[in-house]
Amino acid sequence: MTTRLGRHFIQIPGPTNVPDRVLRAIAAPTIDHRGPEFSAIMQDVLPGLQRLFKSAGPVVIFAGSGSGAWEAALVNTLSPGDKVLMAETGHFSNLWERMARKFALDVEYLPGDWRGGVNPARVEARLAEDKAHAIKAVAIVHNETSTGVTSDVAAIRRALDQTRHPALFLVDAISSLGSIDLRTAEWGIDVVVGGSQKGLMLPPGLGFNAVSEKALAAAKKAKLSRSFWDWEPILEANKAWSFPFTPNINLIFGLKEAVAMFEEVGLAAVFARHARHGEAVRRAVRAWDLELQAANPAEYSASVTAIRVPEGVNADSTRAVILEDFDMSLGAGLGKLAGKVFRIGHLGALNDLMIAGTLAGVEMGLLRAQVPHQRGGVLTALDFLARDSGRTAKKAAE
């Protein structure tokens, strides 16, 4: 076995780097989840999460991954046979769509080419046709982690408003929460689906649903079977700052610390940092003369970039070289993009030097794996990071 020195670079788009102070918070001894110390933490965490989600309604915390929170969003709001409008953006929209079908929901899936986001005009046209309001929910992925494409959630909200359609609005924010602005209350989102292991800077293990009043009302009538994922007993227990099951107590210690970090920095500055790091990565990609999977600059993701490798190159072999020789994990191509793209996660707790190191690892890997490319991506990114200190963006955000 080789002894690795320094930190492993985990540059996949989740799980992400966990800050030392969050790790230290998690490393505390476990406490009684029905005791006063834990309820004091919950009194801090639950309102903090609402601010993070920009939600007027409560945020439900599950012991589970993002997929569990996907399931919770469906089973709490819908009944078997209900029509749901979804849109194909990539691997994760596909997984959510398949899950909805397993619950006997009648999914209408707007096809996509995995290079763009949800098309608001198509959603609007479909909603306008649905005069009888058969569509009970519109469910979309905000940031498609498999392609590095961010959809315009506010525009989808406008499509619902313009057609005066009463459908619920469900949004997967698993790889955008805490990285890309999402205004749950302002944009009338009924359920936001989140997970701990991406922008929130925590290890995996917590799933979230931010829930609107309309969604709570729908839950009273929804007939899909649910037990563990049922919001009601959790929200009831939360009134006494507790849970109906044993929560992952130590992750909630970490969550408290992560929420405190967001409040210290301010969400606007966090979003500006992600946008700037995304821009640095894309400038490097352009200098390498490689192609982005995302086709439309208005939809470039601030949290992840998917990079296409030239014909005849296997992206997974390149990633393997980078892991073996430079101790850095990059995201694999998923679904139909397997072997065709690699992904750089630039979300969570990152600074300029970590972005620079990541890009250096990629450029050395491209060279070592003999992937046809132009040199100079790192220099281009360094130039951008050095000239644009981020202070302007930070100022604008304040």
The residues that touch ligand PLP, with contacts defined as CB under 6 A, are 14, 65-67, 92, 141, 145, 172, 174-175, 195, 204
**Coil, helix or strand for 69?**
helix
Q: How far is the CB of 301 from ligand PLP (least distance, A)?
A: 10
Q: How far is the CB of 95 from ligand PLP (least distance, A)?
A: 7
Nearer to ligand PLP, 96 or 187 (CB): 96
Which residues make Cβ contacts (< 8 Å) with residue 222, sequence separation at least 6? 75, 76, 77, 78, 79
Q: How far is the CB of 46 from ligand PLP (least distance, A)?
A: 21
Both tokens of 248, joined, read 């992952």
Q: How far is the CB of 374 from ligand PLP (least distance, A)?
A: 30
Q: Identify whether the C-beta of residue 21 lies closer than 8 Å to the C-beta of residue 202.
A: no
Nearer to ligand PLP, 303 or 380 (CB): 303
Nearer to ligand PLP, 65 or 314 (CB): 65
Q: How far is the CB of 56 from ligand PLP (least distance, A)?
A: 23
Nearer to ligand PLP, 207 or 377 (CB): 207
Nearer to ligand PLP, 206 or 362 (CB): 206
Q: How far is the CB of 174 from ligand PLP (least distance, A)?
A: 4
Nearer to ligand PLP, 151 or 358 (CB): 151
DSSP states of 287-355:
HTT-EES---GGGB-SSEEEEEPPTT--HHHHHHHHHHHH-EEEEEP-GGGTTTEEEEE--SS--HHHH
Rounded-to-integer distance, Cα 218 and Cα 76, Å: 8
Rounded-to-integer distance, Cα 226 and Cα 74, Å: 10
Q: Identify whether the C-beta of residue 207 lies closer than 8 Å to the C-beta of residue 66.
A: yes
Q: Identify whether the C-beta of residue 84 lies closer than 8 Å to the C-beta of residue 120.
A: no
Q: How far is the CB of 376 from ligand PLP (least distance, A)?
A: 31
Nearer to ligand PLP, 174 or 366 (CB): 174
- Phi, psi angles (nearest 5°) of residue 203: -70, 165
Q: How far is CA 91 from CA 141, 182, 332, in A?
A: 10, 21, 12
- CA torsion sign, 344 to 184 to 48 to 60? negative
Burial of 268 per CB tally in 10 Å (0-12, 13-18, 19+): middle
Rounded-to-integer distance, Cα 54 and Cα 42, Å: 18
Q: How far is the CB of 293 from ligand PLP (least distance, A)?
A: 14
Nearer to ligand PLP, 141 or 189 (CB): 141
